[in-house]
Structure formats: C-alpha cells, structure tokens
Amino acid sequence: MTQAFQDSTPLWRQLQATAGVIAAVRKGSSGTAAVEAVGAALRPGVQALAFYVWRNLGRAQALRSQLVSRLPSPGTDALLCVALALAWNEDEAPYDPFTLVNQAVEALKRNPATAAHANFVNACLRRFLRERAALVAATDSNPEARWNHPRWWVERLQREQPEHWQAILAHANTHAPMTLRVNARKSGVADYVVQLRSAGIAARAGLGAVVVLDQPIAVGQLPGFAQGWVSVQDTAAQMAAPLLLQGLGARPRVLDACAAPGGKTAHLLEVSDAEVIAVERDAQRMVRVGQTLDRLGLKAHLRTADAARTQDWWDGVLFDGILLDAPCTASGIVRRHPDVRWLRRESDIAQLARLQAQLLDALWPLLRPGGRMVYCTCSVFMAEGQDQLQAFLARQPLAQVLPAPGHLVPSAALSPSQVGDNPIHDHDGFYYALLEKRSA
C-alpha cells in the first residue's frame, strides 16, 4: 500500500465514500464539489482514491462490461468500478487485491441501498481476480480503456491533433508538478529558490516568474506564502499577464473578465502599475479574488457581474487591454482535475464555444483603438481555440492577430524540437491569441 493511501479509517468506509464521489460526478457534479461534501476526516483519503479512480475509470468501465451483461444500479456500479480501477493494474494497485474485494463487499453490505447486490459484486470481483490477465487483454483494444478518457474525447483529439493526440492523453494521466509564481513586488525567482532550499524544499527556477517544486507540499510550508511572496499557478497560466501587457505603456487600464479565482488578476498587478478592473459573475468566486489580492497586498476594482452584460458594470471608459480567460471545457487541466473528462459531454463544447463568442463580441467594443486583447482558454480542443479565433476575425475586421503561443500542447514526453513554439511543454493545455484593434 502506497503512502498516499495510508489511513487509519476502515477501508470499506473510504471505498463507500469514494463510490459516492464517483456517482456524483456521473450525475453532473464537479469532482471538487463532490469531494468537499465528504466529511473532513475522510476527505484526504477519499480525494486520493477518487483521483486514482478517475485516472483508471475507462479501464474499469471496460472491465465491468466484460463481467456483467446488464448495468447494476448506479450506486452498485460506482463501487464495482472503484474496485476495478484500484485492482486492475497489478504493478500499481494500492491495496492487496483480496483485501480490496473483501472491503468493497463490506462497503456494499453497510449501505442499505446496495446491500442486496453484495454477493453479485463479490462474484464479479473474484472472477476478475481469477481471470485478470485475459480480461485486461480483452479490453486493450478499447480506446476508453487504453487512454482512460471517453471515446468521443479520444476521437476528437485524433482528428484535431493527429501528431500529438497520444502524448496529450498520456500526459493527462500524469501527476502535475506544483508550480509557483513569485511575486515580483516582493522577491525574485533566484532569491526565492534559495529560500526554498534553505527550508529543505527542493525546487528549480523556470521561465519568467516560475518556480517548480520537486514534490508538492502544503502551501503553508512555503516560505512567505501568507505574506504574499508567492502563489500557486501553472506555467501556462503565467503567460497571460506578460502577453497582454507588452506594448501597453506604463499605467494601462486593463479589464480582467471572468477573473476568478484571481491568479491572473494578481499577476497583472505584480508586474505592472496597471489600473485593473476585475469582473466575475459568481459572488462566491469573487470573494476568492478579493482574498487572493489581500494576501498579496494588491488592489483592483472588483465588479460582481456577468462580463457579457457590459451595461451592468462598465463605466464607459475604454480599456487599453482586455484579458478574457473564457469559460471552457477545462480539457487542458485534466491532470489536476481528472474528474473533468468524465464530467464533460461532447455537446458541452459547442455550448461553451457559443458563450466564448458572446463574450468576445461583447467585450471587443470596450477596447480602444490600438489596444490589445488576450483571449485564452485552458482547453485542448480547436473549437475553443483556433476555430474560435478564426470565427471572431471573420466578424471583426478591425481585429489584427499578433504573435502568441496558440495551442500549447501539454506533454512532458515531447522535446522542444518537436513542438517549436512550446519549449516548456510540462504544463497544462492552453490556448492563447493576442489581438490588436486597428483604427477604423
């Protein structure tokens, strides 16, 4: 049993709670919300188990289909798939297989809604242990089992990223590094790496304000975190502020639309003397923006509103720069949020693309001639990136495209020579476009 799964709580209770989290995501809840609903004592272990299950759920579901002719009830199926996800790979299984089977059956027995199915699941899992090699081999040709993503997701990437789709999917099942952004107003990257090493924390400097830890730790262990020296932010996300601010002058007026949780808002203020107006429609998420800025000792004008309804919040003064980090499928951040691949439906892409287009069209008139807009999404799908940009350019003849990263292919396996515009490829999947507004 690995350290990540060691817990004094009976395993059956953890399996039961993990199955509840898996079932909640299948019903449409986010993994974050489902895990937060678990009791505090169980939560750390359940989160570790749930992440493991989501990264192996495609294989588990394919194996379940080999074992049963008809789907069991949702609660029973969730627990069966949890057990199969944890047991299928002998080399990486976090528990002894027979202990896992016994505890999975116990979890079913302890729940009145599933108790009647305990013997059925026991028979399925014991058959799996007897025939593991043959059953796993029978699922190897199933793309969901091979890549642990929905079939539609795999097929879409095969069409859109024919050279990189395998690397993207493999990367999505890895563990993301803990990446920091050093607050330029309070420290420098080299100095902060020295601070970390003095505290016994192994780290290395990256590009710009990036510091990468060798191992994740609690933020409370980071030197100066409470004092605002540093924030947690992926390398790809740290490109937004510098990309927008280049060429905008000393004190630009900048809009950060869809600002929560506030990382990019803060970065804009750390590296410039900009006047920043941050807009976020979700009041609770706007609270997080305020808390982030308070910790870092920064100030912005916060507006709780729908960014697309400009009449509700805009004061009529044009912006020098606009950052639109638009709502998207989050398909580029599945290694940090592995539930996303099972939460999303293919139809979500078109729906979110329409929202992105609505935001682009609503905010573009707020940009002064000569001003710049960054449009970005944490997505690997073309509809939320290059396709969205081309459609916008067709609607807006005054928009001029400037050099920007475009689609950042996430893959620790690729060398910089394979992806020329992506030399820091161990990061989340992102798309960046930079637009300048020409005079009429």
Query: What integer pLDDT is reported at residue 207 of this predicted model?
Result: 87
* CATH value at residue 369: 3.40.50.150
Decide: 337 and 401 in contact? Cβ < 8 Å. no
Q: Give the per-residue pLDDT at 421.
A: 37
Last residue of a domain, one of 190, 217, 232: 232
Asked if residue 173 belongs to a domain, the reply is no
CA distance 439 to 368: 9
Q: Look at residues 248, 255, 246, 242 and name the one whose alpha carbon lies nearest to residue 366.
A: 255
- Pair 113, 223 in one domain: no
Instruction: Note whether 62 and 211 are same-domain residues.
Output: no
Predicted pLDDT of residue 356:
98
Q: Are residues 14 and 131 in the same domain?
A: yes
Give pLDDT tens digits for 195-232: 999 999 999 999 899 999 999 999 999 999 999 999 99
> Is residue 106 included in any domain, yes or no?
yes
Identify whether residues 246 and 185 lie together within a single domain: no
Low-confidence ranges of the chain (pLDDT < 50): 1-4, 413-424
Nearest to 128 by CA among 106, 97, 104: 97
pLDDT reported for residue 418: 39
195 and 338 housed in the same domain: no
Q: What is the pLDDT of residue 351?
A: 98
| Domain range for 410 | 237-437
Give me the catalytic one of 124, 328, 376, 378. 378
pLDDT value of residue 426: 79
Please report the pLDDT score of residue 412 as a whole number. 57
What does the pLDDT read at residue 424? 47
- Say whether both 252 and 211 belong to one domain: no
Q: Of the residues 232, 257, 273, which one is the last residue of a structural domain?
A: 232
The whole-number pLDDT of residue 415 equals 44
328 catalytic per annotation: no
Alpha-carbon gap, residue 205 to 189, rounded angstroms: 7
Counting the structural domains of the chain, the total is 3
Is 0.85 topped by the overall pTM? yes
